Structure 1
Amino acid sequence: MERDRPESVQASRTTLRVLDALRELDGAGVTELSRALDMPKSTVHRHLTALEQEQFVTRDGDDYVVGLHLFQLGEYARKRKAVYCLAVPHTEEIAKETGERSQFVVEEYGRGIYLHVAAGEHAVHTGFETGGEIQNLHSTAAGKLFLAHMPTERRNRLLDEQDFP
């Protein structure tokens, strides 16, 4: 079967790397992506062409940028989390009552993902917005909470994999 062929899986990984690089670079042309990913321009171009045909990327002049189809997928994924619908009103209420920033974060694959952020009238902007991620769980209060409540073996494995800048 086509999907089980190793080159098929590698092609999928390459496509996902291209999307991640576009996000990190805030859009890029073929040459810039090729350098950033250390891949031949022809490979990058083929993946970008496929992504554009499937409406996952769009062009902004000579640059490619992540398209809104990914936003639709992300919003679908967020709303599939039952706790999200429960947490939003509470997050908003906390922000309003305290006047500060309130956020709802979930842990997935050893990263914290901000699913909802609400800001009160005196909130300090921290740079983290909805969809943002916490790479090093030990570096935030929310991440420390996740680490404190996960099984010891998993916590140790995650901490062994994390950087401690």
Structure 2
Amino acid sequence: MTERPDGTVGKQVLQTTAASLRLVDDILELGGASLSELVETTGLARSTVHSHLTTLAEYGYVVNEDNRYHLGAKFCHLGDYVRTGKEYHRIAEEVIAQLAEESTMEVDFAIEEHGRVVSLYGNLDFSNIPRFLIDGSPFHVHTTASGKAIIAHYDEDRVRAIIDRWGLPAATERSITTESELFAELERVREQGYAENRGEAIEGFWAMGKAVRSPRGGVYGSLNLSGPEYLVDDEVRATQAELLTRAVETFEHEVEQLYQPSSGDEGETEPE
């Protein structure tokens, strides 16, 4: 068992791989760094850091420009591959664009992966800040509207497995920190049809999320609206909930159409 940087414990973590990934994070946070800066930041031997950087450069993950290391453009292609690889990516982007025109809030679509929440589409103002990319993304499911909206559709065993892996750490004073609170919150989400985040992940940040279901009954992710908490009152909340509900209905309808058999394809079904 190996302790992760966030204090959680994982199995069979390779220290060499972890060191390379930490260098990627350090280069991102520093906005580019020299070999000496990375040696100081990591505490590793100069020869070790140099070997990791050489390997990362060989595979296109970093570049050396004037003796400073930066992340490589390969990451752009990897991100595009992940986003466009989803069967619903075109629909998600179209729904987000339409919802952004109708709402005064920011719009994004997030998924749960390995028990954490990652924003996949949209343009959140803070989403490209290096510190956010390292620490804030992915978020814990219990601190976000998107995470709560998604796991409200999971069975109890699956939710408990996420809790067992990541715990319920507090991001702010308003974060849920006990299982009883979380399961009560998930019941409220199911009753009202959407989840809210009132400063639970970021101080002063409000969000509303509603799960998007697949035609087979699973959960693709959550469509979300977010903005400053001080702008949200009962009227704003009701308006945003209505806009979000219509957008999710459109999303699910459009995806369902992908699997409607065309002429001569009546025997085809949605792939597993």
Give the TM-score, by structure 2 length. 0.49
**Rounded Cα–Cα distance in structure 2 between residues aligned with 1:61 and 1:138:** 43
Native 8 Å contact 2:39 2:49 kept in 1: yes
Aligned-pair identity in percent equals 29
Cα distance change of structure 1 residues 21 and 158 upon mapping to structure 2, 3 Å threshold? farther
Residue 102 of structure 1, CA deviation: 0.9
SS at match of 1:82: coil
Residue among 25, 28, 53 paired with 2:33: 28
Cα distance change of structure 1 residues 19 and 141 upon mapping to structure 2, 3 Å threshold? same
**Rounded Cα–Cα distance in structure 1 between residues aligned with 2:78 and 2:53:** 18
Structure 2: where are the runs of 5+ without partners? 1-13, 172-272
- The alignment covers a number of residue pairs equal to 151
Q: Which residue of 2 aligns with 1:128?
A: 127
Residue 48 of structure 1, CA deviation: 0.7
Alpha-carbon displacement from aligned partner over 1:38-77 (angstroms, at most 9, x marks no partner): 3212111111122223322123433211111121122112
Q: Which residue of 1 aligns with 2:94?
A: 89
Counterpart code for 1:36: T
Residue 109 of structure 1, CA deviation: 1.4
**Rounded Cα–Cα distance in structure 2 between residues aligned with 1:25 and 1:153:** 40
Compare the two structures and name the one with the higher helix fraction.
1
Native 8 Å contact 1:134 1:143 kept in 2: no
Moved more, 28-37 or 136-145: 28-37
Q: How do residues 51-130 of structure 1 correspond to structure 2 at under 5 angstroms? A: 51-118=56-123, 126-129=125-128
Residue 33 of structure 1, CA deviation: 2.1
Structure 1: where are the runs of 5+ without partners? 1-8, 119-124
Q: Which residue of 1 aligns with 2:170?
A: 164
**Rounded Cα–Cα distance in structure 1 between residues aligned with 2:30 and 2:37:** 9
Counterpart code for 1:152: E
**Rounded Cα–Cα distance in structure 1 between residues aligned with 2:24 and 2:52:** 9
**Rounded Cα–Cα distance in structure 1 between residues aligned with 2:101 and 2:55:** 45
Counterpart code for 2:151: L
**Rounded Cα–Cα distance in structure 2 between residues aligned with 1:155 and 1:41:** 43
Cα distance change of structure 1 residues 148 and 26 upon mapping to structure 2, 3 Å threshold? farther
SS at match of 1:149: coil
Q: Which residue of 1 aligns with 2:206?
A: none
Q: With a CA cutoff of 8 Å and minimum separation of 6, indicate the structure with the bigger relative contact order.
A: 2
Native 8 Å contact 2:117 2:138 kept in 1: yes
Residue 13 of structure 1, CA deviation: 3.8
Counterpart code for 1:69: K
Cα distance change of structure 1 residues 77 and 58 upon mapping to structure 2, 3 Å threshold? same
